Structure 1
Amino acid sequence: MTPHSVFIVDDDPAMRDALLTLMRGAGLRARAFADGQDFLDHLPEDTTACVLTDVRMPHLDGVGLVRQLQDLRGERWPVVVMTGHADVPLAVQMMKAGVVDFIEKPFEPNRILDAVRGCLSALATLTPEIEAREATARRLSTLTPRERQVFDALIQGRANKEIALDLDISPRTVEIFRAKVMQKMQADSLSALVRMGLRVSDA
């Protein structure tokens, strides 16, 4: 069974049950919620998951749910949207909000399974990168303002003498700050430090 969950959000009980049966029959771990607000009120703590949501629901519709999930979980919880009222403006709006697929009802079971499996496969490769990026961000937050200045200069490829001139400090002081940055960032080489800088700049 996949380590990632599938969360189904649909106000139609028959559709929820059918999707639960489909997902569990395919060996996926799945839970269902009555609408967007119900989902947020009982938000699971899973690190990664695929969310399968309807658009038109009471209390909180799919558009509102997608936007909130982007803020709460981001790319760790990719969203697939289902709707029986598809139109081009709605599809564009949902894709801009961050959904990875947009499926019209009624749909073939394999169509929805392929979409969910695609999300879960992407998560398998994405998760290590997300964790590395978050670890880098945590380490960055421990740097003092001066250390952060040195970090930024180093990942731009600036030499110690250049950094010293820019910051109006001695080259020896730059060396001391550089050693502290390497230690706090847990970087064993300058190239490793640069990779960390690229990782957070791409986030």
Structure 2
Amino acid sequence: MTEQARTIFIVDDDPSFLRGIERLLRSCGYATRCYESALDFAADHSPDAVGCVLADLRMPEMDGIALQRHLAKSSNPLPIVFLTGAGDIPTSVEAMRGGAEDFLVKTAAKEAIIDAVERALARDEEERRERRRRRALDKDCEKLTPREREVLRYVLKGLRNKQIAHEMAIDERSVKRHRTNLMAKLGVSSVAELVQFAVEAGLSQPE
């Protein structure tokens, strides 16, 4: 599947400002899509969308913070930059704690807006790459049989083959076979690489 082009999704209930910021971004070479309400954007938000969101803070029905929370819960949490005419310190703190890339006033300089957009786009690319990597790790883990998973847990605890055989009530040769198979499936060739894979895949070690 071909990945969609990077797009700046602009959400603001002020039509004149919406068109103005759209012209600014388009003049700088960005693709844009405009929405006059957060609800309209939320209804149209695609799991395949690539880019970032540039949103007002105070909007009817669903405000910017509510939109931010909605994005955070979605399968495609695009980075958000708040560009508002009615910011305050408590709200800006809440927005930044919620993961906003930046919080700017609408009178901010063009350079500041473009800088925030570029950082948000870079963040989206990095987070998208990380999600792809995690999906690949999860897919590799799904290849393991229950026995191989059990051996893996004991290996991560630092047990030797003989100890694992005792814990699982099987012979040491079977442990070696399971261990060889699971390492081949996970694409690792040493215990160090196996531990690194487990850390990256978020596999917890049993008590």
Task: State whether TM-score is above 0.5.
Answer: yes
Which structure 1 segments of 5+ residues have no match?
A: none
1:106 aligned partner: 107
Counterparts of 2:20 and 2:75, CA distance in 1: 26
Q: Is the 8 A contact 1:81 1:103 kept in 2?
A: yes
| 1:41-80 equivalences in 2 (<5 Å) | 41-73=43-75, 77-80=78-81
Following superposition, the deviation at residue 126 of structure 1 comes to: 4.4
Change (3 A) 1:101 1:169: farther
Over the aligned positions, Cα root-mean-square deviation in angstroms equals 2.6
Gaps of 5+ in 2: none
Deviations 1:3-56 (A, max 9, x none): 422111111111211122122211122111122111111113435321111111
Amino acid aligned to 1:193 = L
Residues 177 and 87 (structure 1 numbering): CA distance in 2 closer, same or farther, change over 3 Å? same
Counterpart residue type for residue 99 of structure 1: A
Listed one character per residue, the Cα deviations across residues 165-191 of structure 1 (whole Å, up to 9, x for unaligned) are 444443333223223323443x14234
Amino acid at match of 2:69: R
Quick check: 2:140–2:185 contact (8 Å CA) kept in 1? Answer: yes
Aligned residue runs from structure 1 range 153-168, under 5 A: 153-168=154-169
Which one has a bigger Cα radius of gyration? 2
Q: Is the 8 A contact 2:8 2:54 kept in 1?
A: yes
CA distance in 2, matches of 1:25, 1:175: 63
What's the TM-score once normalised by structure 1's chain length? 0.83
One-letter amino acid matched to 1:136: L
Which range moved further: 76-85 or 164-173? 164-173
**TM-score under structure 2 length normalisation:** 0.81
CA contact (8 A) 2:101 2:119 kept: no
1:150 Cα shift?
2.8
How many residue pairs match? The answer is 199
The aligned amino acid for 1:164 is A
Question: Which residue is 2:198 aligned to?
Answer: 197
Quote the Cα distance in structure 2 between the aligned partners of 1:143 and 1:46: 29
